[in-house]
């Protein structure tokens, strides 16, 4: 029998730390919150592959 994956609070899902709280715990904020870094992608028109007319 397979175990169900634990469901974590939405604030905890965005955090690097391992002190994840269950979904049933209502968190308003966390003093130990350390956000997961996000790589931003900037799209610049004109860069990239050029279209060729056939």
What pLDDT is stored for residue 50 in this prediction? 67
What pLDDT is stored for residue 45 in this prediction? 84
DSSP secondary structure letters along 10-39: HHHHTBSSS-PPBTTS--S--TT--BPP--
* For range 44-49, the mean pLDDT: 77
> Backbone phi, then psi, for 46, in 5-degree steps?
100, -20
Asked if residue 21 lies in contact with residue 8, where contact means CB atoms within 8 angstroms, the answer is: yes
pLDDT band at 51 (very low <50, low <70, confident <90, very high): low
What pLDDT is stored for residue 5 in this prediction? 86
For 10-46, how does the pLDDT look when each residue is reduced to its tens digit (9 = 90+)?
A: 999 999 999 999 999 999 999 999 999 988 888 888 7
């Amino acid at each position: 029998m397979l175990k169900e994956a634990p469901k974590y609070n939405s604030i905890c899902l965005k955090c690097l730390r391992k002190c994840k709280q269950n979904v049933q715990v209502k968190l308003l904020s966390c003093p130990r919150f350390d956000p997961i870094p996000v790589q931003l992608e900037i799209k610049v028109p004109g860069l990239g592959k050029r279209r060729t007319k056939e």
